[in-house]
Amino acid sequence: MNSLEANAVTKTFPTRGEPLVVLRQVSLTLDEGERLAILGPSGSGKSTLLHVLGTLDRPTTGEVRLDGQNPFALAEPELARFRNQQVGFVFQDHHLLPQCSVLENVLLPTMAQAASASKDVDRACELIEHVGLTDRIEHRPAELSGGQRQRVAVARALVNHPRLVLADEPTGNLDRQNADLVGQLLIDLVQQQQAMLILVTHSRRLAQRFDRQLTLEDGMLGPWSSADRTT
């Protein structure tokens, strides 16, 4: 069974003074198809947690396993391949390549290891259709609205059928309507392919649509109280 396990993950950053502890003994488990929302104030370590879970950063101590495999035990090329095949990211600032079209931006992960195959192009087109941007498939990011760009970012994250999708405040820069749209799109698409989804957000409204909610404060995960569920 696909699952994500994080055991006592700690992350510290060196500073001029005392080391900055961002994550303190964070542990969590996620099963296939499960959706988790993590909330917390700014600077609480939410993005750092996603980066560690997504293998973009190494934990100082602790362990992360995806489907039983410890990706940090892999050499860098294999780690990159692992990340390419298993993990999809959606960032708050969409980070689309401005010189590439919508199609090319969605195809980007398929070029990470080798050139994109025809099936990749079909998959990308399918996802673009799902996010409702077929008529803008050849357009550049500069010609899209913020919401449209984020929809492209969502499609990009899913093109390689990742097991785990990590979204770092994907709706943070969007208005309410687009935020709802993108958020729901993300949930639906992830659900379609039975991937695990961890989303970091400030939006209680969005968090309530998830199976589970946790808070991260002072680097420690805790439950999200029912009082916080009020909108």
Partner 1 sequence: MLRLILSSLSYFRGSQLAIGLGVLVATAVLTGALLVGDSVRASLRAMALDQLQRIDEVLVVEQFFRAALADELAAQAGRSAAVTAVVPATLLNGTVEATGGRRQRRASQVTIVGADARFWKLANEKSSHTVPMSQAGVVVNRTLADELGVQVGDTLLVRLPLPTDLPADSPLGKKSDLVEGRRWPVTAIVPSDGLAAFSLRRSQRPSRNLFVPLKVLQRALDLPGRANTLLVAGDRPAHGTTVEQSRRLQQALAPRLTDYRLALRPITIGDPRQPVSQRLDLSSRRLMLPPAVVRRAQEAFPADQLQMAFSYLANTIRAGQRSIPYSIVTGINPRTGLGPFETDDGRPLADDEVILNSWAADQLKVQPGDEVTLTYYLPESTHGVLQEGSPATFRVRSVIPLATKGEPPTQANDPDLTPRMPGVTDQRSIDDWELPFTLVEKIRPEDEAYWDDHRATPKAFVSLKRARMLWQSRFGDTTSLRFPVAPDQTAADVQARLKLNPAELGFKFRPVKRLALASAVGTTPFEFLFLGFSGFLMVSALMLVALLFRLGIQRRAVQMGLFQAVGFSSRRWRRLLVIEHLLVASAGAIAGALAGVAFAWLMLVGLGTLWQQAVSTSALRLAVHWPSVATGAGLGWLVCVLTIGVSLRRLGYHSPRALLAGTLVNVRPWSAAGPRWSRALAALLLVCAVFVAGGGTWLSGEGQAGAFLAAGSLTLTALLLLVWRRMRMADSTHSQAARSLFAMAGRNAARNPGRSLLAIGLVASASFLLIAIGAFRLAPTVEGTGGFQLWATSDQAVLFDLNTESGRNELGFSTRGGERLADWRTYALRVQAGDDASCLNLYQSRGPRVLGLPSGFLARGGFAWAGSLARSPTEQANPWTLLERPIADGAIPVVLDAATATYGLKIGLGDRYQIDGDDGQPVKFLVVGLLRNSIFQGDLLVAERHFLSQFPKISGHRLFLLEGQKSSAATAANDAAQITEILERTLGDLGFDVTRADDRLRRFLDVQNTYLLTFQSLGGLGLLLGTLGLAAAQLRAVVERRGELAVMRACGFSDRRLVGLVMLENGSLLVIGLGIGSAAALVAVAPRLVVSGGSLPGLHLAGLLAAILAAGWLAAWIAARQVLRLPLLQALRAQ
Binding positions for partner 1, rule: CB under 8 A: 47, 51, 54, 56-57, 76-77, 80-85, 87, 89, 91-93, 95, 97-101, 103-104, 107-113, 115-116, 120-121, 125, 137-138, 140, 142, 156, 160, 168-169, 172-173
| C-alpha of 43 from chain center | 18
Q: What's the burial of 75, exposed, middle or buried (CB within 10 Å: 0-12/13-18/19+)?
A: exposed
**3-class DSSP state of 107:** helix
Residue 85 or 178: which CB sits closer to partner 1? Answer: 85
CB 166 within 8 A of CB 70: no
DSSP of 115-161 = PPPHHHHHHHHHHHHHTT-GGGTT--GGGS-HHHHHHHHHHHHHTT-
In the complex, what is the shortest distance from the CB of residue 84 to partner 1, in angstroms, rounded to a whole number?
Answer: 2
Residue 54 or 183: which CB sits closer to partner 1? Answer: 54
Residue 89 or 210: which CB sits closer to partner 1? Answer: 89
Distance CA 25, CA 215 (A): 14
In the complex, what is the shortest distance from the CB of residue 138 to partner 1, in angstroms, rounded to a whole number?
Answer: 4
In the complex, what is the shortest distance from the CB of residue 88 to partner 1, in angstroms, rounded to a whole number?
Answer: 8
In the complex, what is the shortest distance from the CB of residue 112 to partner 1, in angstroms, rounded to a whole number?
Answer: 4
The 8-class DSSP code of residue 224 comes to: P
Residue 34 or 169: which CB sits closer to partner 1? Answer: 169
In the complex, what is the shortest distance from the CB of residue 174 to partner 1, in angstroms, rounded to a whole number?
Answer: 12
Residue 146 or 222: which CB sits closer to partner 1? Answer: 146
